[in-house]
């Protein structure tokens, strides 16, 4: 079943509006779905729109190495115990992933941009935590991460995100060619599109082309993807 995964980006304890991967210029989120940009309120607004099974959370402070939003993550887990969370907190080591999974907050998203090599993935592959990981293959103008990772599909877990950072919040549409390349590289993987999803038509097209789901933020908050679109899927 095709899965729409709403995204929230955390900085200094609040939710910000991601645009084109230019993280230093993300403004506080303003959305008709909620009042203010407190993460608990934002997720509440999203769940009021649709009973999403999973919410993706990017801890920008942790990704950039300037701090973390652990307290906000703990509040989200306590407020929404029935919701799954996929969290990218800039994991750089197998130990960090293992510790996060053990915390019970959610599944760990390993962003390729945070990896200096493939050794940590090789360590994780044989561990129980591997089943609770999601790999984000991050792209700007080109791939951001260890170059050999694109060929080592044995180090890709079951769930893979094709993250085109330059299209985040852009409304330019999915990166169809990249999605096709990743799906061909590992046909058994569940591939999720991230970046550029515009509307319900894009969601239907992604589902028709075999994507497992899509990460979406801007189009949910500005109404281009509404209740009817989500129910249709």
pLDDT, residue 23, reads 65
CA distance 123 to 21: 29
How far, in Å, CA of 176 to CA of 226, rounded? 23
> Sign of the C-alpha dihedral, residues 9, 41, 194, 92?
positive
Q: Which residue has the higher pLDDT, 76 or 27?
A: 76
Q: Assess whether pLDDT exceeds 70 at residue 213.
A: yes
Q: What integer pLDDT is reported at residue 26 of this predicted model?
A: 85
Tens digit of each residue's pLDDT (9 = 90 or more) over 42-64: 999 999 999 999 999 999 999 99
- The pLDDT, as a whole number, for residue 177 is 92
Helix 39-49 vs helix 70-79: crossing angle, to nearest 10: 40
Write the pLDDT tens digit of every residue in 10-34: 999 999 987 765 666 788 999 999 9
Q: Which helix (H) or strand (E) holds 108?
A: strand 107-111
Q: Do residues 120 and 178 make contact, with C-beta atoms less than 8 angstroms apart?
A: no
In this predicted model, which residue has the larger pLDDT, 18 or 155? 155
CA distances from 185 to 53, 151, 163, 188 (A): 27, 8, 16, 9
For residue 169, the model assigns a pLDDT of 57
Is residue 201 pLDDT above 90, yes or no? yes
Residue 173, both tokens: 């549409």
> What integer pLDDT is reported at residue 21 of this predicted model?
56
The structure's pTM equals 0.94
Check: CB of residue 114 under 8 Å from CB of residue 89: no
**Residue ranges covered by each domain of the chain:** 3-232
CATH superfamily entry for domain 3-232: Aldolase class I (3.20.20.70)
User: What pLDDT was estimated at residue 20?
Assistant: 62
């Amino acid at each position: 079943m095709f899965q729409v995964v709403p995204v929230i980006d955390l900085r200094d304890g609040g939710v910000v509006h991601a645009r084109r991967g230019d993280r230093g210029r993300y403004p506080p989120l303003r959305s008709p779905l909620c009042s203010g940009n407190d993460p608990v309120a934002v997720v509440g607004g999203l769940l009021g729109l649709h009973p999403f099974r999973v919410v993706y959370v990017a801890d920008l402070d942790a990704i950039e190495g300037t701090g973390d939003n652990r307290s906000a993550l703990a509040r989200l887990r306590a407020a929404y115990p029935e919701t799954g969370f996929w969290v990218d907190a800039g994991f750089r080591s197998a130990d960090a992933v293992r510790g996060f999974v053990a915390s019970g907050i959610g599944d760990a998203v390993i962003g390729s941009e945070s990896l200096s090599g493939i050794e940590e993935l090789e360590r994780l592959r044989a561990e129980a935590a591997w089943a609770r990981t999601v790999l984000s293959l991050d792209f700007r103008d080109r791939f951001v991460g260890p170059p050999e990772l694109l060929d080592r599909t044995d180090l890709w877990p079951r769930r893979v995100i094709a993250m085109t950072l330059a299209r985040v919040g852009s409304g330019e549409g999915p990166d169809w060619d990249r999605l096709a390349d990743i799906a061909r590289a590992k046909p058994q993987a569940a591939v999720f599109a991230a970046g550029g999803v515009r509307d319900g038509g894009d969601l239907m097209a992604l589902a028709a082309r075999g994507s497992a789901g899509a990460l979406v933020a801007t189009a949910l908050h500005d109404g281009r993807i509404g209740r009817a679109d989500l129910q249709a899927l």
